[in-house]
A and B are shown apart, each in its own frame.
Chain A
Amino acid sequence: MVTLEQSRPAVKSKPQRRTIRADEVGVRTVVYGLILLGAAVVFVPFLWMLSTSLKQESQLFAYPPEWIPTPPQWHNYLDAWTALPFNRFLFNTVFMTILAMVAEVFTASIVAYGFARFRFPLRNTLFVVLLSTMMLPGILTLIPKFLMWREVNRIDTFTPLTVGAWFVWGPSFVFLLRQFFLTIPREIEEAAILDGANTFQIYRQIMLPLVKPALLAIGVLSFQANWNNFEGALIYLSTLEKYPMVLGLQFFGDSLSREAPKWHLMMAMATMMAAPILLLFFLAQRYFIEGLTVGGVKG
C-alpha cells in the first residue's frame, strides 16, 4: 500500500552535534516567524466566524471589535436552526450525499479496475478521453442536462442530484483509483485465478481491501463535494422543503436578511454547515491529503 509517508524511506538527519552558528539561529527564527504569520492569516477568519456566531446583534459592529463575546449567545445556533426548516434541510443533505457517494465510489472503483487491469482495444484512447472530460466546464452541459431531466419529469426532485452518480460523475476519482490499482502486483491476482476465483470475487475480496486507503480518500472527497453541492441544488430544486442545507443558507442570506444582514445568525448557520466537514477532515485528514496530492505528485 502506498501512502505519502511510506512511499519514501524516511531519511533521518544525523543528530545535530555541531555548534549552531548565529546566522543559523537567525534563519530558524525567520522561518518560524513567517510560518506562524501565515498560520495566523489562515486561522483568524475562522475565529472571527466563531466569535460573530456567538454575539448579540448589537455587538456586531462594536469598535474596537470584540473577539470574545460576553456573554456568549449560544441560543444563536438554535435561533438560526429554527429560522428555517433546517431539520429537514439536514435530512435532505444527508439523504442526497449518501446516495450519491455510494454510487460514485462504487462505479469509480469498477471503472478504475477495468482500466488498470484488463487489456482491450482502444483502452489508452478511452482513458485519454476520460482525462480530457475533466477539463470541460460543467456549466456547458448543465443546460442540456436540465432539459433532459425535465423531459423525464424529474425537475424539483432529488433524482438529478443522486442517480446521475451511477454514471461516474468524477473522472478524477477513476484516475486516482487507477493509480492505486496499478501499484498492486499482478501475482496476487494470478494466484487467485489459479484458485478458480472469478473477476467479481477477485475485485471484491482481493483488490478492494488492497486499495482501501484510496477508497476512503475518494469517499471523503465525494462526501465533501456532495455535501457542498450548490450549483446542482440551485438549478434542480425549487420547493423549500426539498432544499439541502447549502441552499437554505443561501435563501436565508438572500431573502430573509437582505436589508439588515443578521450576520450573527448567518455565521452560526455557516459554522453548523461546515462542522461535519471539518470534523470529517480532522478524523480522516490523511485521506483528504492523499486524495489531493496523488494527481500532482504520482501523476
Chain B
Amino acid sequence: MISWYAQTVIDYVVVGTVIVLAMLGIHKVLRKFGVGREAATGYALILPWIIGMLVWTIGPFLVSLFLSFTDYNVLQSPTWIGVDNYVEMFTDDRQFWSVLRFTLLYSLLNVPLGLFGALATATLLNQNVRGLGAWRTIYYLPAVLPAAATALLWRWMFASNGIFNFLFRPFYSLFDLEAPAWFTNPDLVLPGYIIMGLWGVFGANTVILLAGLKSIPRDLYDAAKVDGAGRFSQYVNITIPMLTPTIFYVLIIGVIASLQTFTQAFFIDHTRRAGTFMNVYIYQEAFERNRMGYASALGWVMLLIILLFTLLVFRSSAAWVYYEGERA
C-alpha cells in the first residue's frame, strides 16, 4: 500500500525536476543561438505551460479529432470509419437529441435567470446596507459547498418525501396530485436542476457583480445628480453601462460552465434516461460502454456548440459592452 503513494511521489519529483532542468536547458540553448537575455529568460519561464499545452491540450485535441472518425473500444486498435459516428449521432441516436435539448435548455434558462437575480441582489447590497461583509459571506456560501455535497443535498430536498414536497403538500392535495420526486420526474427534472443551479451559482455572481458596482467612480453619479437625473435614470444610464464588462464576464463564464455540468448531474443520478447532461452522456459512452470513438465525436459537437455560444456573446458584445475610454 505504501508503494502506491511512493510511486506517485517518485513520478512527481522526477517530472518536477525534469521541468526545472528543461527550463535551465532551454535558456542555455536559446542564448547559444543568439537570442537576447530577456527573451531567453521569458521563454524559459513560460516553458512549463508550453510543454503542458503541447502535450496535454494540442496533442489530445488532435488525438480526439482522429478518434472521432474511428470505432475504438480500447481493447482493439481503432478502425477508421469516416464520418459514421457523426451520421449515427444525427440520424440514429435518439438519446443524443434529448441530451442536447436538455443541456441547451438548462443553459439558456439558467444563465439569464442567474444573471438577473444576481444583478438585482448586487444592486440591493450596493445601497449602503449595514453589515455588507456578513451578507456577502452568506450569499457566497453555496459557491463554496462542494458540487458533490450540493447535489446530494438537493437530491434529498427534492425527493418524493423531501422538504420541498412538504412545503407544497397543501398545493398538491388541493389539486389531488401525488408528491413527485423532482429529479426522476421527466417534467420536473429541468426545473429541479435550474433551481439547484441558481442556488449554487447565484451568490458567486452576486459577489462578482457587487465588486463591479463598487468600482464605478462616484463622481459619475455626482455629475448626473447635478444634471438632475433621478435614481432610475442614473441606474439605466450610468450603472448598467459601466457594469457591462462585468456582466459580459459573468455571462461567458456562466455559459461555458453550465454547458459542461457534470459533477452535480452525476451525483443526482446518472443512470436514468430523462434529463441527462451532455458531459455525463459522453462519460457514459466512453467509460461505461467503451465507445471511445463515438464519445470523441460527441465531444467535438460539444466543443462546436460551446464555440458557437461564446462567439455569439463575443460578437454581440461590441453592441452592448461599454469599455470606458479605449485603454491602451
Contacts and interface: CB of A to CB of B under 8 A. Distances in A.
A43 B141 contact: yes
Interface of B: 1, 4-5, 7-9, 11-12, 15-16, 19, 38-46, 48-53, 55-57, 59-61, 63-64, 67, 74, 121, 124-125, 127-129, 135-142, 144-149, 152-154, 156-157, 159, 161, 163, 166, 169, 199, 203-204, 207-209, 211-212, 214-215, 218, 245-246, 249-250, 253, 256, 259-260, 262-263, 266-267, 279, 282-283, 286-287, 292, 295-296, 299-300, 302-303, 306-307, 310
A201 interface: no
A117 B213 CA distance: 31
A69 interface: no
Contact of B214 (A8, A64, A110): A8
A139 B283 contact: yes
Contacts of A129: 53
B64 to A, nearest CB: 5
B153 A48 contact: yes
A46 B38 contact: no
Given A99-B9, A135-B306, 4 more contacts: A38-B121, A63-B169, A118-B45, A274-B145
Given A147-B63, A228-B146, A162 B211 contact: no
A137 B60 contact: no
Of A8, A136, A288, A296, most B-chain CB atoms within 10 Å: A296
Contact of B48 (A107, A162, A249, A278): A107
A141 B57 contact: yes
A265 to B, nearest CB: 11
Contacts, number: 298
If over half of A's interface residues share one DSSP class (helix, strand or loop), that class is named, otherwise mixed; here it is helix
Contact of B146 (A111, A167, A246): A246
Contacts of B48: 107, 110-111, 166-168
A156 B142 CA distance: 32
A273 B149 contact: yes
Interface residues of A, number: 105
B39 A120 contact: yes
Interface in A263-289: 263, 266-267, 270-271, 273-274, 277-278, 281-282, 285, 288-289
B139 A39 contact: yes
Contacts of A39: 135, 138-139
Contact of A42 (B51, B63, B156, B199): B199
Given A139-B279, A139-B282, A270 B153 contact: yes
A42 B49 contact: no
Nearest to B278: A139
A20 interface: no
A292 B282 CA distance: 29
B266 A120 contact: no
Given A292-B204, A297-B246, A42 B147 contact: no
Contacts of B156: 52, 261, 263, 266-267
Of B56, B63, B300, most A-chain CB atoms within 10 Å: B56
Nearest to A113: B45
18 contacts: A38-B121, A42-B139, A46-B141, A107-B19, A110-B46, A111-B45, A135-B306, A135-B310, A138-B260, A139-B262, A140-B64, A157-B8, A157-B11, A166-B19, A169-B52, A281-B141, A285-B140, A299-B249
B157 A270 contact: no
Contact of B43 (A120, A278, A297): A120
Nearest to A289: B207
A183 interface: no
A119 interface: yes
Contacts of A4: 211, 214
B15 A277 contact: no
Contacts of A235: 283, 287
